[in-house]
Structure 1
Amino acid sequence: MKKSNLALATAVSGLLMLAGTAPAVAADSGAKEKCYGVAKAGKNDCATKTGSCAGTAKMDGQKDAFIMVPKGLCDRLAGGSTKSS
C-alpha cells in the first residue's frame, strides 16, 4: 500500500512541475520584436540615440528606447511602435 501511495505522490508531483513550466516554455518559443515608446525610464533593452547601453532611457515612453516583446503585442500597447522615431 505504501508503494502505491509513493508512486501516486511522485506522479502528481511530476505533473504539477510540468504544469508550472509549460507556460514559460510556450512564451519563449515565439518570435520577438522591438517595441519603441513603451519602456519605462531606465528599463529599455538596448542603446538609444542618447544612451550607449541598456537601461539608459531618461524618461517613460522615450520614442527611441525599445523593449523586446512577443511579436504582435507592440501594436496593442498604448504608444507602442515597431519603428524608432
Structure 2
Amino acid sequence: MNRSALALALAGSLTTAIASAAFAGPIPASKMVGNEKCYGVALKGQNDCAAGAGTTCAGTSTIDYQGNSWKAVPTGTCTGMSAGGHNGSLEPLKS
C-alpha cells in the first residue's frame, strides 16, 4: 500500500471513530440513578436516547421538544417542566 492510500485509510477510520462517538449508544445506567425519562423536553439533537420512530439514540431527535424523545432529568421534576407549549411527560407524547 502506498503512502497516499494509507493516509486516506487512516483518515477514513478516524472520521468513522469520531462520528461513532458523537452518536453513542444508550446512556449508561449510572446516569439514570436518581433520574427519570422525561419526554418532550429535549432540544433538537439533545435527547438522551431512542424512544421510537425518528430517534435511533442519543442526539438524534429531529425537532425541539420531539414527543417520542426523552431527556434524563432528576426524579420528580419531569411533569413540572414546561417546554414547547406542553409539560414534560413520563410517557411518549404525540409530536
One fold, TM greater than 0.5? yes
The whole-number CA distance in structure 2 between the counterparts of 1:76 and 1:51 is 24
Q: 1:55 pairs with 59, 62, 66, which one?
A: 59
Structure 2: tracts of 5 or more residues without a match:
1-30
Structure with higher Rg: it is 1
1:65 alignment partner in structure 2: 69
Structure 1 residue 42 corresponds to structure 2 residue 50: no
RMSD over aligned Cα atoms: 1.6
Query: TM-score when scaled to structure 1?
Result: 0.61
Report the TM-score when normalising by structure 2: 0.55
Runs of at least 4 residues off by over 3 Å: none
- Whichever structure has more helix as a proportion of its residues is 1
Amino acid across the alignment from 1:59? I
- Unpaired runs of 5+ residues, structure 1, are 1-27
Number of residues of Structure 1 aligned to a counterpart in Structure 2: 57
